Structure 1
Amino acid sequence: MEEGPGAIPHGGDLGAARRLFPEAPEPWIDLSTGINPVPYPLPPFEASALHRLPSPDDLGRLKAAAADAYGAPDADHVAAAPGTQILIETLPRLVPKSHVAVVGPTYAEHAAAWTRGGHAVEVVPDLAGAAGAGVVVAVSPNNPDGRIFSSCDLRRAVAPGGLVVLDQAFADLEEMPPAAPAPGLVVLRSFGKTFGLAGLRLGFALAEPALARRLEAALGPWAVSGPAIAAGVIALPDAGWRREAAAARGHDAARLDRMILRAGGRVIGGTRLFRTATFDDGPGLFRRLGEAGLYVRRFPERPNDLRFGLPLDKAAWCRLSRVLK
C-alpha cells in the first residue's frame, strides 16, 4: 500500500496502481513485488486441512520440514508463523529495549517494528555503522540492492550478548549457504516468495529453542493455518523443484537485465526474483509503464530507481519490452 499518513510503501497494491493510472489497460501486470511468478504446483488439499484446527503433530511435521530445508539442527530451532511480517513485528516485543542498527536502505518494516517496540533505532549504511549496537538487523540478499551479509560478519558487529536478526527472505533461490541459528542469531525465512504462494502466509524464524518457543507463545495457538501447513509439508522437501526454479528465474533475471540495459537503465542490484535499476528519468518511465498497465516499485527518496519483478508469461514480457524500447 502507498496511501495514508505515515504508511510504508509496499509492492503488490494494484488498487493504488489503478487509482494512479485509471485509463491503463487491463489486466494489470504486477511487477512491483519480489515474489516468484511461477508458483509451486500444489496438489489439491485434503478437505480436513480446511475443516479442522491444525494439531501439534501437524505443526511438528511442518517445522521438521523447515529445519531440513533451511539447515536448522532440528524442529525445536524453528518457529512457524503466518508470514515473516508478523515475526518482524513480534521480535522487538520480546527483546529488552536496546540500540538497534538496521543496515539500509532495506525493507522499511524492520526499522518501523523496532521503533514501535520502543527501541532506539538507527538506519546505517553498512556494518561499520552498526558496530556495537545491541541489536543488528540485516536483510541478505538485501531488498532492493541485493547486498549479501554473512552471519559471521554480523555477529562480529553486534555488542557482546546482543542479537542479530538476519532476514533471508530472498535467499532460497540464490547461490549462498543457509545461515544456521546460533546463540544471539535469529534467521527469518520466507516460504511465499520462493514458492510463489505469498497469499498462504507462511514464514519461519530459525533461533535457539528458548527463543523459538517464546516467539510461538507470543503468536498464540493455531497461528499457522491448516492449508499453509499442508503446503509447507509438501513443498519444503522438494529440493529438485527449488533447483529448477533457481535456474529458470536466473535466466529470467538475465533477460530482464538485457531489456533494462537496452532501455538506457543501469542495473544496480537485485536477486533472481527482482532487479533494481536506475534511469535518467525514473519518474517518466514509471508513468509510461503505469499507463501501459505495468506496475513496478518506485522509491520516493530515490526517484530515478525502479525495481522490477519478473514477468510471468510471453504476453507480460512483450508488454514490458514494448514500453522499455
Structure 2
Amino acid sequence: MLEHGGRLRKAAQHYGIAEADWLDLSSGLAPWPWAIPPIPERAWARLPETDDGLEAAACAYYGVAQVLPVPGSQCAIQLLPRLRRGGKIGVLSPCYAEHAEAWRRAGHLVREVTESEVDFFLDSLDVLVVVNPNNPTGRLLPAERLLEWHARLAQRGGWLVVDEAFMDNTPAVSLAPHVERPGLIVLRSFGKFFGLAGVRLGFVLANSRFLQLLAEQVGPWAVSGPTRILGQACLADGDGHQRMIERSALASQRLASLLARFDLAPHGGCALFQWLATDKAGALHEFLAQRGILVRLFVNTSSVRFGLPPDEPDWLRLEQALQAFAKETA
C-alpha cells in the first residue's frame, strides 16, 4: 500500500497526541462537509437501484450524456489497466502515485514523464495519464493542450486518461464536454469538493461503449443505496456548489498569503490546497506534527502540501505554529 494523506490515527499514535486534538491538513479535502440529507430506511434494506436519479444528477452536474458511478475514483484507477493489453504507459509526474502503481501492477511498462517530455515520448505511448489540476503541484493544464495530446494518441487507438479529482472548483476547464471522443477517459472524485471522502463515490466520464466495458469490471451494486441518495442530493445543490467554489478560492488565497508571510511561499496549488517545495520540507512536517498539525510530506520531491483550515481558531493555530517555525529556523 502506498502512503497517502489522512492517516490521522497513525500520526496520533506516533506523536502521542489524541486524534481529537489534531488539525488535519494532510488530505486536500474541502474542510466544510456538505450536510447529510435524511436517508430512508429502504436505502439500507434493499439492493441499490440504478434508476434512482443519481446518474441523471451526475450527468447534469458534469454536463455529459452518461456516467458510470464507482465506489471512489480509486476504484477506476485500479480497474482501467485491465481493459488494455500490456503496453507503454506514460504518467505525467509528479502526481498521485496510485496511477503509475496501478498500471505497473497490471504488467504494463510505465514511464513517468515531465510536462516538457510529453511531446517527445507521446507517439511511442499507448496511454497517457494526466492529473489535472495536478496533485500535489496544483498545475492546471489548458484543455487545448490535452485535446491535442488526445488526438495524437487516438490516431493509434491510444487513450488519454485525465484525473480531474480537483476540477470541481474550476468546471469551465474540464474535459467533460469532450468525453464522447473515443479514447478520452475522465475520472471525477466526489469526496474532495463535497468534503465527504468517507462516502467513497466517484464517476467515470467516457463514451458509452467504454463505460459498458468498465461497468463489467466494476460489477453490480458497487455504490451503496445510502451513498447514491447522498450523492444525488449533493450534486443537485447548485447554490451550494457556487458557495463552495467561492469559499474555497478565498481560503486558498488566504493560505498562500499566510505561508508567504513566513518565507514559505507556495510553488503551486489549487482551490483546495497549497504546495511548497523546500529543503526544509521534512523539518517543517516534523515541527508541525509535534504540535498536532498534520500536513502531507512528499519525501521524494522534498515538498509539503497544506490543506485548508476549517475555521478561525485553526487559522490562528496554524499561523502561530508557522511563526514559531520561522523563528526556530531563522
Please report the TM-score for the alignment, with normalisation by the length of structure 2: 0.91
- Given candidates 108, 117, 126, the residue that maps to 1:134 is 126
Residue of structure 2 equivalent to 1:171: 167
Task: Go from structure 1 to structure 2 and tell me whether the alpha carbon gap of 1:64 and 1:26 turns closer, same or farther (over 3 Å shift).
Answer: closer
Secondary structure of 1:169 counterpart: coil
User: Aligned equivalents of 1:56 and 1:278: distance in 2?
Assistant: 44
> How far is 1:26 from its partner?
4.7
- Whether the 8 Å CA contact 2:129–2:162 is kept in 1: the answer is yes
User: Aligned equivalents of 2:98 and 2:221: distance in 1?
Assistant: 24
User: Aligned equivalents of 1:176 and 1:45: distance in 2?
Assistant: 32
- Whether the 8 Å CA contact 1:264–1:279 is kept in 2: the answer is no
Residue of structure 2 equivalent to 1:37: 31
Residue of structure 1 equivalent to 2:327: none
**Counterparts of residues 1-325 of structure 1 (less than 5 Å):** 7-23=1-17, 26-58=20-52, 61-72=53-64, 74-75=65-66, 78-126=67-115, 127-132=118-123, 133-149=125-141, 150=143, 151-158=146-153, 160-174=156-170, 176-180=172-176, 181=179, 182-303=181-302, 305-325=303-323
- Whether the 8 Å CA contact 1:38–1:312 is kept in 2: the answer is yes
| Aligned CA-pair RMSD | 1.6
- For each residue in 1:255-310, what CA deviation from the matched residue of structure 2 results, as whole angstroms up to 9, or x when unmatched? 1111101121121111100100134522221111001100000011122x110001
> How far is 1:194 from its partner?
0.9
- Whether the 8 Å CA contact 1:100–1:121 is kept in 2: the answer is yes
- Whether the 8 Å CA contact 1:298–1:306 is kept in 2: the answer is yes
Task: Go from structure 1 to structure 2 and tell me whether the alpha carbon gap of 1:25 and 1:185 turns closer, same or farther (over 3 Å shift).
Answer: closer
User: Aligned equivalents of 1:25 and 1:162: distance in 2?
Assistant: 46
Over the matched positions of the two proteins, sequence identity in percent amounts to 40
Select between 278-287 and 219-228 the one with higher mean Cα deviation: 278-287
Count of matched residue pairs: 313
User: Aligned equivalents of 2:196 and 2:208: distance in 1?
Assistant: 27
- Whether the 8 Å CA contact 2:12–2:19 is kept in 1: the answer is no
Secondary structure of 1:176 counterpart: helix
Which consecutive unaligned segments of at least 5 residues does structure 1 have? Answer: 1-6
- For each residue in 1:218-262, what CA deviation from the matched residue of structure 2 results, as whole angstroms up to 9, or x when unmatched? 111100001110011111122221111011011101111111011
> How far is 1:129 from its partner?
4.5
- Whether the 8 Å CA contact 2:8–2:19 is kept in 1: the answer is no
User: Aligned equivalents of 1:265 and 1:176: distance in 2?
Assistant: 30
- Structure 1 segments of 4 or more deviating over 6 A? none
Secondary structure of 2:140 counterpart: coil
Secondary structure of 2:51 counterpart: helix
Aligned amino acid, residue 232 of structure 1? G
- Whether the 8 Å CA contact 1:130–1:157 is kept in 2: the answer is no
Task: Go from structure 1 to structure 2 and tell me whether the alpha carbon gap of 1:112 and 1:48 turns closer, same or farther (over 3 Å shift).
Answer: same
User: Aligned equivalents of 1:83 and 1:134: distance in 2?
Assistant: 25
- For each residue in 1:180-238, what CA deviation from the matched residue of structure 2 results, as whole angstroms up to 9, or x when unmatched? 31211000001111111111110000011111011111111100001110011111122
User: Aligned equivalents of 1:210 and 1:156: distance in 2?
Assistant: 19
User: Aligned equivalents of 1:138 and 1:130: distance in 2?
Assistant: 14
